[in-house]
Amino acid sequence: MRLNPKIPEGDLEKKWSNYQLKSQLINPANKKKLSVIVVGSGLSGAGAASTLAELGYDIKCFCYQDSARRAHSVAAQGGINAAKNYQHDGDSVYRMFYDTLKGGDFRSREANTYRLAELSAPLIDHFVQQGVPFAREYGGTLVNRSFGGVQVQRTFYARGQTGQQLLLAAYSQLYKMIKAKKVQMFPRSEMLDLVVIDGKAKGIIVRNLVSGQLERYAADAVVLATGGYSRVFRLSTLAIGCNGSAIWKAHKKGAFFAAPSFTQIHPTALPQSSEAQSKLTLMSESLRNDGRIWVPKQKDDKRKANEIPEDERDYYLERRYPSFGNLAPRDIASRAAKERIDAGYGVGRLKNAVYLDFKHAIEKFGLTTIQDRYGNLFNMYKKITGIDAYTTPMLISPAAHFSMGGLWVDYELMTTIPGLYAVGECNFSDHGANRLGANSLLQASVDGYFILPNTINNYLANEIKADHPTIDHPEFEKTEKEAQAHIDKILSINGTKTVDHFHRELGKIMWHECAMSRTKEGLKKAISNIEALKEEFWRDVKVTGDQYEMNTELEKAYRLADFIELGLLMCTDALQREESCGAHFREEYQTDEGEALRVDDEFSFVSAWEYDNGKFNLHKEQLKFEFVKPTVRSYK
């Protein structure tokens, strides 16, 4: 199969408008006859569901949580980027496009990345109109701050709760359309499989998480908005329920999976403190605007942070990357922390952390200003650790965070299964091999609000006259039976080990071999270890309770079964890519200074994997750089 990304003709700045001019329209009377399923109710899912409903389509929206307002977009803290140039500091759509492309180490499409930057400014207008209380100047205009990998101030924020405020705006709009009877909402409902009829996505099988019953839903198109899959590492900044099952099931039904191993390790999370830990809490990157990162110059320094004099501290980011300093991009900041920790300079009880210090910022700007900028983050830090970060430096450590990889989508956000779309973090589109801070809320939002509602019509226009699917179709019967058999199998094993045990084991393998630093040997070992773990899971896992009740162990079990298989694909992808780019750092491919060494001649393509009966076949989408020449990505 030849992958066609469907990039429109013309100059970079004209592509999106050219596309819209040529795409097919559907009249309002016909839109009413077309139905769309949206799986996921986060920023991209709720944005897509409410906007498609406003356009007149009949929408069904599903989420596993008790309410759409819980989706993990809620946890994004620092902000959302937009090329408004309100700060008069030389920003523009082109500069934002270039920063994003470079930030992703030239492993994303020019056209997609440009569109992301192009749609950023109207998105801020949109959210302000929806009532998002962004930070303001005394005179009433919007405030900006900086984020990593960027030298202008283009990040808009609502304290340290930007994701929450954007999500709540999307959730409000979703409920506006529920009241208008244009959206039917199904909370506590989890997609177990995709129904494909004659090669097109036509519905889903869902488990009602309260009754445990399997249910069938049909539609003319299916949109997946199911977020990231970094819980494959078990310890991550994600919500405990976040999972990769919907996209994995779609992958097994024929959707190609792109760049699965591109995972962002965030440099500023709270360090792990015990084996029982379930979650690594993120401390927003915005803290690096004013906080300075350091470790002691002396190995195994037993002194408390405040007792270590200035000249005995190593501000290693400022030392290695003088022009970006503490605002170096995430992949680089994480690797630099790992380098110091591995070399024996780590701090904290388990020597697995570095300091993030606000002493200088407080001296310079005063306590009140710092409290105003980051108050809720400092409070959160205190609640979790019991430590006051105004007087003692924070302890931070890298943690698995964002999935740049995801289902392969074309310019229209359609996967390789016609009628199946992927929006937000669950697709691979704009971020290449590393995502810049404050670009994830942006991508989720523009995918859902602005892009999909203008591309899905191009497919649905041809479905008006087609047979509208019904749940009596034999494919629904067959797919439901398969989903039922999967659950029956898990419940029948009755082994000796808990689901969490297997998840911890998978997490250890993935973290050691497929996270910040990867090697050929390590990845090969990881693949064989995961295969053994998979065999053991299906022989020895123990799940109590039954299907027809609220059963959180069963939910964890079927999600983990998919994570194990996804882990295999991630390692396969990382093994195949014999270069370093962005977050993908193969130890064999580095410069003398320890920086990532890209191999453009051989690897300037998007890896798109096809599922083939337990095996993965590689397809390559060659990346064409017509407008920008890929350069060595330097932040020195």
**In the range 216-275, which residues lie near another protein by CB under 8 A?**
239-241, 273-274
Q: Which of residues 271-300 bind another protein (CB under 8 A)?
A: 273-274, 276-279, 281-282
Closest approach, Cβ 187 to another protein, in A, equals 7
Closest approach, Cβ 541 to another protein, in A, equals 10
Q: Is 562 helix (H, G, I), strand (E, B) or coil?
A: helix
Residue 536 within binding range of another protein, rule CB under 8 A: no
Closest approach, Cβ 437 to another protein, in A, equals 17
Q: Is 330 a catalytic residue?
A: yes
Q: Kindly name the residue from 109, 216, 288, 330 that is annotated as catalytic.
A: 330
- Starting at the earlier edge strand, list the strands of the sheet with 189-197: 189-197, 200-208, 214-218
Choose, by CB under 8 A, the member of 542, 595, 605, 628 that binds another protein: 542
Closest approach, Cβ 2 to another protein, in A, equals 34
Q: Which is nearer to another protein, 158 or 583 (CB)?
A: 158
- Kindly give, in sequence order, each residue whose CB lies less than 8 Å from that of residue 554, ignoring residues fewer than 6 positions away: 487, 490, 491, 543, 545, 547
Name the segment binding another protein (CB under 8 A); options: 171-179, 190-198, 507-515, 613-621. Answer: 171-179
Name the segment binding another protein (CB under 8 A); options: 159-167, 363-371, 421-429, 575-583. Answer: 159-167
Q: Tell me which H or E stretch contains 504.
A: helix 499-513
CB 356 within 8 A of CB 394: yes
Q: Which is nearer to another protein, 241 or 346 (CB)?
A: 241
Size of the residue set binding another protein (CB under 8 A):
83
Tell me the β-bridge partners of 7.
none
Residue 368 within binding range of another protein, rule CB under 8 A: no
**Per-residue binding letters, 310-349, with another protein (x by CB under 8 A):** ----------------------------------------
Residue 537 within binding range of another protein, rule CB under 8 A: no
Choose, by CB under 8 A, the member of 35, 41, 44, 50 that binds another protein: 50
Residue 140 within binding range of another protein, rule CB under 8 A: yes
Residue 158 within binding range of another protein, rule CB under 8 A: yes
Q: Crossing angle of helices 110-118/15-22, nearest 10°?
A: 90
Q: Which of residues 193-212 bind another protein (CB under 8 A)?
A: 210
CB 405 within 8 A of CB 261: yes
Q: Tell me which H or E stretch contains 204.
A: strand 200-208
CA atoms of 348 and 242, how far apart (whole Å): 29
Q: Which is nearer to another protein, 124 or 444 (CB)?
A: 124
Q: Which of residues 549-588 bind another protein (CB under 8 A)?
A: 549-553
Residue of 376, 353, 215, 209 whose CA lies nearest to 295: 353
CA atoms of 609 and 597, how far apart (whole Å): 23
Residue of 241, 203, 215, 207 whose CA lies nearest to 490: 207
Closest approach, Cβ 76 to another protein, in A, equals 9
Closest approach, Cβ 588 to another protein, in A, equals 36
Name the segment binding another protein (CB under 8 A); options: 139-147, 477-485, 582-590, 610-618. Answer: 139-147
Q: Crossing angle of helices 499-513/520-540, nearest 10°?
A: 170
Closest approach, Cβ 555 to another protein, in A, equals 11
Residue 534 corresponds to which tokens in the numbers above? 């998979």
CA atoms of 414 and 394, how far apart (whole Å): 43
Name the segment binding another protein (CB under 8 A); options: 215-223, 335-343, 377-385, 434-442. Answer: 377-385
| Encoded amino acid at 69, one letter | R
CA atoms of 167 and 628, how far apart (whole Å): 34
Q: Which of residues 53-92 bind another protein (CB under 8 A)?
A: 54, 65-72, 74-75, 84, 86
CB 70 within 8 A of CB 144: no
- Number of Cβ within 10 Å of residue 472's Cβ equals 9
Q: Which is nearer to another protein, 8 or 122 (CB)?
A: 122
Choose, by CB under 8 A, the member of 2, 383, 465, 615 that binds another protein: 383
Q: Which is nearer to another protein, 173 or 572 (CB)?
A: 173
Q: Which is nearer to another protein, 239 or 362 (CB)?
A: 239
Closest approach, Cβ 141 to another protein, in A, equals 5
Residue 129 corresponds to which tokens in the numbers above? 């109109």
Residue 176 within binding range of another protein, rule CB under 8 A: yes
- Which residue's entry shows tokens 């959160």? 380
Q: Which is nearer to another protein, 50 or 334 (CB)?
A: 50
Q: Which is nearer to another protein, 69 or 216 (CB)?
A: 69
Choose, by CB under 8 A, the member of 8, 56, 187, 630 that binds another protein: 187
Choose, by CB under 8 A, the member of 89, 125, 477, 531 that binds another protein: 125
Name the segment binding another protein (CB under 8 A); options: 174-182, 254-262, 361-369, 623-631. Answer: 174-182
- Kindly give, in sequence order, each residue whose CB lies less than 8 Å from that of residue 467, ignoring residues fewer than 6 positions away: none
What is the torsional sign of CA 186, 190, 194, 200?
A: positive
Q: Which of residues 443-482 bind another protein (CB under 8 A)?
A: 449-450, 453
- Kindly give, in sequence order, each residue whose CB lies less than 8 Å from that of residue 136, ignoring residues fewer than 6 positions away: 142, 143
CB 370 within 8 A of CB 390: yes
| Encoded amino acid at 239, one letter | A
- Kindly give, in sequence order, each residue whose CB lies less than 8 Å from that of residue 302, ignoring residues fewer than 6 positions away: none
Residue 128 within binding range of another protein, rule CB under 8 A: yes
- Number of Cβ within 10 Å of residue 204's Cβ equals 29
Choose, by CB under 8 A, the member of 142, 493, 533, 599 that binds another protein: 142
CA atoms of 45 and 170, how far apart (whole Å): 9
CB 282 within 8 A of CB 266: yes
- Enzyme catalytic residues: 330
